[in-house]
Amino acid sequence: MSVRFVEASRLPTDWAVFTMHGFEDVTANKEHLVLTLGDVSTDEPVLTRVHSECLTGDTLFSLRCDCGNQLQAALRAIAHEGRGALLYLRQEGRGIGLLNKIRAYKLQDEGADTVEANEQLGFGADMRDYSIVQPMFAHLQMSKVRLMTNNPRKVSALTDLGIEVTERVALQCDSNPHNEKYLQTKGAKLGHMFEAR
């Protein structure tokens, strides 16, 4: 596997002081992070979030998605538990990249949903590759997780990699007028599991 551990350091945040582990994917020329809190190398399942980069949602506070809210909710949950891991994967726009994501946004402004926009640009609905997490889990000596996700594909992907998902923990944030269609499409076309609210 082309993903290798580089270095770790402390990362103080509003929620907790995490340990930040840096990984390099030498084949794809990308860098990924894992934030851990407490001892994650035990036999007990670890509260875990596998989060794909969303510059617009995570950093620029976009209301078009729920990514930034999910990221913050996951960090809060890990801090509250006192133990956990958040894998931050550099797979912007479900793997199509930032500029193509902007192109997809333009198509959505013209009426396409998020899946249709990706397909009109010549991409699959979701181009993310979750196999890159395997060396990260191996380095952290993690084999059992309580996975914070609404996406059944993540559960299947981790299970296929030999990671035991002992529980799916729903990670649902409030909708707004700008992301209602996006969330509906995730449920209807991508199989995301949302709780009735």
Active site residues: 126, 128
Residues 192, 179 contacting (CB under 8 angstroms): no
Residues 67, 7 contacting (CB under 8 angstroms): no
Per DSSP, the chain holds a count of helices (H) and strands (E) of: 7, 7
Residues belonging to the binding site are: 49-54, 65, 67, 70, 92-94, 114, 149, 154
Strands of the sheet with 84-89, listed across from one edge: 3-12, 17-25, 30-37, 84-89, 46-52, 144-148, 164-169
Residues 11, 17 contacting (CB under 8 angstroms): yes
Residue 44 tokens, joined: 């007990």
Residues belonging to the binding site for Zn(2+) are: 54, 65, 67
Residues belonging to the binding site for GTP are: 49-53, 70, 92-94, 114, 149, 154
